[in-house]
């Protein structure tokens, strides 16, 4: 079967409904034009992404642009190796249900615990993997590879994605008044499996058994039904709560170390940790970021994990003294080796990206510089922004982002200046391929 690649302007969302097809949710879409009378299977679909990066899904359309198939890449769709993820960096005093049925965490506002957020570091070995799932109690406890077996491959129910998407926190302020905040926490490791008819049939049976079980809620039962439907064991922090169900569910107690190799963590220099704690106290105390803070920042580099967590917290603190965010961003070159190597890399990049808007401010310019210095090419380059650059290379914003990506690709400064002049003169065309070329030849 032959295909022709066309522009990635996907069909209207409702056209997928009319064609009886699932709508892709991956921002890296591929789209092909093919013969709708022929069968389409995954192995037939070529790599359509620029630079050799395969998209998670490919939409196949006919000559009229009507979608006739959505083909999903088998790798990275539903299964992932467990990685560190935490939903809050505060100590949780209790959980409950808030407005709109949201999960609500009562937290200690004066506490600070390790924030861990990292992308999957290794692919799933489909030949040896044990497929497992989790309930929401594991998300609240925090994903930790140490608490999974070495060969575990994790999938989750759509119920987890819904529950995790928006979580509320509440705490008492100094006057004893309740304060609230909500945060967006998407499940971004995999595509959650659907709550389909098979899952709902099992869920209906579990409801009858669980009617008088106060420690289980609807999300728990949907996760349990999903585990039963896929014949997969389910990790939970409350295994005893599921014992009365007796419907073929196998539960695994979450919390004990199962993978000793993942439990080995590097030690951090004590003087570096002391400097990190001093910075944290100064930040919480409302002090300005001055020369003494710059010195403490340099001393903190010997405790990279603790420093990375603090930097993320400060960059995400919209109420902090502006001098802190600007001071950290202006130290981007010093922090670059740490930012690229830390397990907090993705969280750092996310926190800095928010500070680029509105983009024509001192903080935004410093944030753009940090994105370039801290980013890893090409994994941290936005496909949407790359597309905008290729569509309108002389737009001011496009030129700014093109320079960010060139810095990210470790293109030397003199080459970047020459490339910038060539784009303005119309003798160079920005693109992913062009960045790759300059990166490898400079």
Cα torsion 217, 223, 225, 226 to 10°: value is 160
Q: How far is CA 259 from CA 83, 124, 143, 322, 380, in A?
A: 12, 16, 13, 42, 29
**Residue 153 located in a structural domain:** yes
Q: Is residue 82, in this structure, part of any structural domain at all?
A: no
Q: Is residue 251 part of a domain?
A: yes
Question: How far apart, in Å, do the first and last CA atoms of the chain sit?
Answer: 40
Mean pLDDT score of the chain: 81
Are residue 17 and residue 117 in the same domain, yes or no?
no
Give CA separation, 327 vs 159, 239, 298, 306, 371, in Å. 41, 47, 12, 18, 15
Q: Note whether 187 and 38 are same-domain residues.
A: no
Looking at the chain, how many residues does it have? 442
Domain final position from 198, 229, 261: 261
How many CA atoms lie less than 13 Å away from 130 in the CB half-sphere? Answer: 11
Q: What is the per-residue pLDDT across 377-418, written as a single tens digit (0 to 9) for each?
A: 988 888 778 888 888 877 888 888 899 999 999 999 999 999
DSSP letter for 138, please: H
State residue 327's pLDDT score: 92
Residues 224-243 as b/e (b if ≥16 CB within 10 A, e otherwise) read bbbbbbbebbbbbbebebbe
Do 68 and 96 lie in one domain? The reply is no
* DSSP at 211: T
Q: Are residues 255 and 176 in the same domain?
A: yes
Closest CA to 276 of 150, 112, 131: 112
8-state DSSP, 380: T
> Of 261, 280, 313, which closes a domain?
261
* Helical ranges in 286-361 per DSSP H: 291-299, 304-316, 322-330, 332-341, 345-354
Q: Of 27, 44, 72, which one is at a domain's C-terminal end? A: 72
Give the angle subtended at the CA of 114 by the CAs of 193 and 132, to the nearest 5°: 25
In a domain, 376, yes or no: no
Residue 340 φ then ψ, to 5°: -80, -25
User: What span, in angstroms and rounded, lies between the C-alpha atoms of 325 and 356?
Assistant: 12
The CATH number given to whatever domain includes residue 203 is 3.40.50.1010
pTM assigned to the model: 0.56
Query: Is the dihedral angle over the CA atoms 349, 351, 352, 357 positive or is it negative?
Result: positive
Q: Can you tell me whether residue 104 is helix, strand or coil?
A: strand
**67 in helix, strand or coil?**
strand
Q: Are residue 171 and residue 248 in the same domain, yes or no? A: yes
Same domain, 111 and 166: yes
Domain identity same for 146 and 204: yes
Count up the domains in the chain and report the number: 2
In-domain check, residue 141:
yes
Contact 286, 321 (CB under 8 A): yes
**Those residues with Cβ within 8 angstroms of residue 255's Cβ, 6 or more apart along the chain or in another chain:** 141, 147, 237
Given strand 251-253, what is the order of strands in its sheet? 152-154, 130-134, 234-236, 251-253
DSSP line for 325-344: HHHHHHTHHHHHHHHHHSTT
| Structural domain boundaries, residue 228 | 91-261
Are residues 133 and 63 both part of a single domain? no
Q: What is the pLDDT along the chain (442 residues), one digit of tens a residue?
A: 444 444 556 777 788 778 887 776 554 455 555 554 444 444 444 444 333 334 456 777 777 778 877 776 554 478 888 988 888 877 788 888 888 888 888 888 877 665 555 666 577 888 888 999 999 999 998 888 889 988 899 999 999 999 998 888 888 888 888 888 887 788 888 889 999 999 999 999 998 887 778 889 999 999 999 999 999 999 999 999 998 887 789 999 998 666 555 554 444 567 788 888 889 888 888 888 988 888 899 989 988 888 988 898 888 877 667 899 999 999 999 999 889 888 788 888 888 988 887 767 888 899 999 999 999 998 888 877 888 888 887 788 888 889 999 999 999 999 999 999 998 888 988 888 899 899 887 6
Instruction: Report if residue 310 sits inside a domain.
Output: no
What pLDDT does residue 172 have? 86
- Check whether residue 52 and residue 107 sit in a common domain: no
Complete DSSP assignment for 167-198: EEEEEE-TTS-EEEEEEE----SSPPBP--HH
22 and 97 belong to one structural domain: no
Q: What is the pLDDT of residues 161-214, one digit of tens each?
A: 999 988 888 888 888 888 888 877 888 888 899 999 999 999 999 988 877 788
Three-state DSSP state, 214: coil
Are both 150 and 50 inside the same structural domain? Answer: no
Q: 269 in a domain, yes or no?
A: no
Examine the domain organization and report whether 147 and 256 are in the same domain: yes
Q: Is residue 118 part of a domain?
A: yes
Instruction: Give the span between the Cα atoms of 259 and 266, in whole angstroms.
Output: 16
CB 30 within 8 Å of CB 57:
yes
């Amino acid at each position: 079967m032959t295909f022709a690649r066309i522009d990635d302007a996907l069909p209207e969302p409702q056209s997928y409904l009319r064609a009886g097809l699932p709508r892709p949710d991956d921002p890296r879409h591929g789209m092909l034009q093919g013969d709708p009378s022929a069968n389409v299977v995954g192995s037939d679909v070529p790599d359509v992404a620029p630079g050799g990066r395969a998209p998670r899904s490919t939409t196949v359309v006919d000559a009229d642009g009507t979608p006739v198939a959505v083909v999903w890449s088998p790798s990275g769709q539903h299964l992932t190796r467990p990685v560190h993820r935490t939903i809050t960096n505060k100590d949780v005093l209790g959980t409950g249900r808030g407005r709109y049925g949201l999960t609500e965490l009562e937290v200690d506002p004066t506490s600070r615990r390790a924030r861990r957020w990292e992308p999957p570091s290794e692919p799933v070995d489909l030949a040896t993997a044990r497929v497992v799932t989790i309930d929401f109690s594991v998300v609240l406890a925090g994903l930790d590879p140490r608490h999974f077996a070495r060969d575990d491959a994790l999938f989750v129910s759509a119920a987890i994605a819904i529950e995790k998407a928006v979580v509320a926190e509440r705490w008492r302020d100094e006057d004893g008044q309740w304060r609230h905040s909500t945060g967006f926490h998407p499940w971004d490791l995999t595509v959650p499996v659907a709550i389909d008819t098979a899952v709902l049939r099992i869920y209906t049976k579990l409801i009858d058994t669980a009617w008088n079980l106060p420690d289980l809620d609807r999300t728990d039962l949907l996760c349990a039904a999903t585990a039963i439907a896929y014949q997969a064991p389910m990790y939970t922090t409350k295994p005893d709560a599921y014992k009365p169900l007796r419907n073929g569910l196998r539960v695994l107690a979450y919390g004990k170390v199962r993978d000793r190799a993942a439990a080995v963590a590097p030690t951090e220099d004590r003087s570096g940790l002391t400097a990190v704690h001093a910075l944290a106290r100064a930040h919480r105390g409302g002090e300005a970021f001055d020369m003494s803070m710059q010195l403490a920042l340099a001393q903190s580099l010997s405790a990279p994990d603790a420093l990375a967590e603090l930097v993320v917290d400060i960059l995400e603190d919209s109420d902090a003294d502006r001098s802190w965010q600007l001071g950290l961003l202006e130290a981007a070159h010093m922090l670059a080796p740490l930012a690229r190597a830390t397990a907090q890399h993705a969280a750092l990049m996310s926190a800095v990206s928010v500070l680029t808007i509105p983009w024509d401010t001192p903080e935004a310019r410093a944030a753009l510089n940090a994105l370039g210095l801290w980013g890893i090419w090409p994994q941290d380059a936005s496909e949407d922004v790359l597309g905008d650059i290729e569509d309108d290379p002389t737009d001011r914003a496009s030129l700014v982002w093109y320079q960010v990506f060139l810095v990210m690709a470790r293109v030397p400064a003199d080459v970047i200046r020459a490339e910038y002049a060539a784009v303005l003169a119309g003798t160079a065309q920005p693109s992913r391929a062009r960045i790759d070329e300059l990166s490898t030849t400079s």
